[in-house]
Amino acid sequence: MRKENIFFARTITLFLMVLFALSVVQAASGVDKKSRYTLPADYEVPYIVIKYREGTGMRIKNGVLISQLNKSLPPGTNVSDLASDTEVVESIVENNKYKMVRMFSSFDEDALFTMKKDGELKSKKRLADLNLYHTMHLPKHTTYQSVEKILERLNKLKIVEIAYAQPKPELASHLATPDYETNQTYLVPAPNGIDAEFAWTVNGGRGEGIKIIDVEGAWNTSHEDMPTLFSDSGTHYNDLMWRNHGTAVVGVIAAIDNGYGISGIANQAMVGVQAVQSEYNYRVHWLSSWSTF
């Protein structure tokens, strides 16, 4: 992956984490643990998320839950509560053979602490300690019904801000894609568009019999609106931005007119793609592609 893409990904990750932490702190004071969301009884849940209260300093060290106190405890909580509640959490993990880990384990604790301080400096607001988020990983096929009592027990603890079951994610492939053609304002008459809709009423106005080659880095050739390619040459970049850009370009040109998604300007044209691996090769392939006609 290119250096600028790595920097971009890390910047976006930090930004999203700061927003997440900010939203949690803003809502924390009004959290009613009894009103947490519920799931259907037979929903599969891969893990339970636990957010400990700010000030408890809860950490996992060598697989053991401990408290690293550096300031006063949360209001209404004393050292005895901390010890007894920690034992309850540990007993739940041990008795049910769960595995408890840090939720944001892709960053070490010091990195999260630094992000928190940087975010507070920039936002001028107190942010949540993301090191206080832990997850209990559950055996496969665990249902919400089987952990509901455990959630109630966890949410009664003074050291726990909120505990909830994380549902197993599902692919959205069973959902129908809406028709976005009305959002394609470039299809309408000038000055807002090129009046492709009028061109479609003319013989050949949808690109019938015409071959088009898109020359760039990569494409998602399995996209549901991608036309069947008559040619797919070169090695695609393994790069999300290149892939998204190429897919978008082919979509604007010739996305299938199928009643959902978008419709390409020349949606009856034959489309091919030619991948490049450098700016130099981009120019060479652009010229060679034209020479094939």
Residue 3 falls within a domain, yes or no? no
Residue 70 falls within a domain, yes or no? yes
Q: Are residues 143 and 239 in the same domain?
A: no
Q: Are residues 40 and 115 in the same domain?
A: yes
Mean pLDDT computed over 176-204: 94
- pLDDT for residue 75: 87
pTM: 0.53
Residue 200 falls within a domain, yes or no? yes
Q: How many domains does the chain have?
A: 2
Q: Are residues 148 and 43 in the same domain?
A: yes
Residue 19 falls within a domain, yes or no? no
Q: What SS3 class is residue 240?
A: helix
- In whole angstroms, what is the distance from residue 276 CA to residue 283 CA? 9
Structure-block tokens of residue 126: 């107190």
- In whole angstroms, what is the distance from residue 20 CA to residue 35 CA? 20
Q: Provide the pLDDT confidence category of residue 69 given band limits of 50, 70 and 90.
A: confident
Q: Are residues 154 and 195 in the same domain?
A: no
Mean pLDDT computed over 240-263: 95
Which domain does 93 fall in, by range?
A: 36-166
Render 142-195 in DSSP notation, one character per residue: -BHHHHHHHHHHHHTSTTEEEEEEEPPP--GGGSPPPB-GGG-GGGSSTTTS--
Q: Are residues 230 and 138 in the same domain?
A: no
Mean pLDDT computed over 191-215: 96
Report which residue type is found at 27: A
Q: Provide the pLDDT confidence category of residue 5 given band limits of 50, 70 and 90.
A: low
Mean pLDDT of the chain: 85
Residue 158 falls within a domain, yes or no? yes
- Name the domain boundary from 110, 139, 166: 166
Q: Per-residue pLDDT for 182 more than 60?
A: yes
49: left (phi over 0), alpha (psi -120 to 50) or beta: beta
- pLDDT for residue 287: 56
Q: What's 239's domain CATH number?
A: 3.40.50.200
Structure-block tokens of residue 166: 């994380």
Residues 6+ apart with CB under 8 A from 195: 187, 188, 189
Closest CA to 245 of 280, 282, 214: 214
Q: Are residues 188 and 161 in the same domain?
A: no
